[in-house]
Amino acid sequence: MRRTVAKLFLLTFILVTATAGGAAAKGYEPAPAAKIQETVFVNHLDVGDSVYVEIDPIQWYEGEQANEIFREREGDAEMTEAPDGYYIVNDEADTEKLQIADDAKIIFQIYDKTGRMEDTDINWNEQVTLETLKKAFSSSDVLDMTAFPYHITIQDGKIVEIVQQFIP
């Protein structure tokens, strides 16, 4: 009986060791960190060696879900639908500072391209550079970029994607 238990232990040890060694030999890499997606207002851009944003998380609702939340929260018998088909809830003014990854994907719908209001056209899902983002947030003379919600993706503590949500 002792011999059988010893053999089973040895066999188990060999199988576990072989499996672990095989994973290392094949270039095992741990699973990538989960991506977190949030909708936020960007209150401020802090530009230095790296770019940081101060964000304020919000709840963004569209369509019928926006109408339901609107009716619950507003209680206006004459208005039964969320204006413009969306509704934003921002009950907490909690802010957080996050770094934008140097290679972050940045998508704008509208921004100040020239400093002239007449040149500020909607260009759906335009991918822009980090430099363009910094420039767009540097002045609110023509268009205040902090007025728009942004859908952000966070991975490993950094923002890896920013998508501006157009609001009429």
Q: State both tokens at 124.
A: 């759906």
- At 71-108, the pLDDT tens digits run 999 988 899 899 999 999 999 989 999 999 999 999 99
pLDDT-based confidence at residue 3 (cuts at 50, 70, 90):
low
Tell how many helices (H) and how many strands (E) occur in the chain. 3, 7
- At 133-158, the pLDDT tens digits run 999 999 999 999 999 999 999 999 99
Q: Full-prediction pTM beyond 0.85?
A: no
Q: Within the chain, what is the greatest distance between any pair of CA atoms?
A: 89
Q: Are 150 and 105 in contact (CB under 8 A)?
A: no
Q: Strand pairing partners for 158?
A: 99, 155
Q: Mean pLDDT score of the chain, rounded to an integer? A: 88
Q: What number of other Cβ atoms are within 10 A of residue 132's Cβ?
A: 15
Question: Residues 47, 110, 98, 91: what is their CA dihedral angle, to the nearest 10 degrees?
Answer: 130
